Structure 1
Amino acid sequence: MDRHSYVMAQHKCSSVPCPNDPETKNLTSISEFFLMGLSDDPELQPLLFGLFLSMYLVTVFGNLLIILAVSSDPRLHTPMYFFLSNLSLADIGFTSTTVPKMIVDTHTHLRAISYAACLTQMSFFILFGCLDSLLLAVMAYDRFLAICHPLHYTVIMNPKLCGTLVVMSLFISLVVSQMHNSIVVQLTYFKDVEISHFFCDPSQLLNLACSDPVTNNIVMYFIGVISGFIPISGILFSYYKIVSSVLRVPSGGGRSKAFSTCGSHLSVVCLFYGTGLGVYLSSAVSVSPRNDAMASVVYTVVTPMLNPFIYSLRNRDIKRAMQRLFSKRI
Structure 2
Amino acid sequence: MHIAREADSRESASFDFQAPAESTSRAFIEANTVSSSFAEIRRDHIIPVFVKDNEPLISQSDFIQVTAEAVREVFRGEQILAPQVRVSHPIKGRIPEAKDKPAAQLHDWERTIYYERMMFCIEVPTLFETVGGNPLTLVVGGVKAYNLDSLYNRKGAVEHFKLFIGFENLVCTNLCVRSDGYAGDVRASSLEQLQKAILSLLRSYDPRRHLRQMQALTEYSLTEHQFAQLVGRCRLYQHLPVAVKANIPALLYGDQQLAAVCKDYYRDKSFCRDENGDISLWKAYNLFTGVNKSTYIDQFLDRSVNALDFAAQVQDALEGQSASWYLR
Structure with bigger strand share is 2
Report if TM-score (shorter chain) is over 0.5.
Answer: no
TM superposition score normalised by structure 2: 0.24
Q: So what's the TM-score if we normalise by structure 1?
A: 0.24
Instruction: Identify, as 1 or 2, the structure richer in helix.
Output: 1
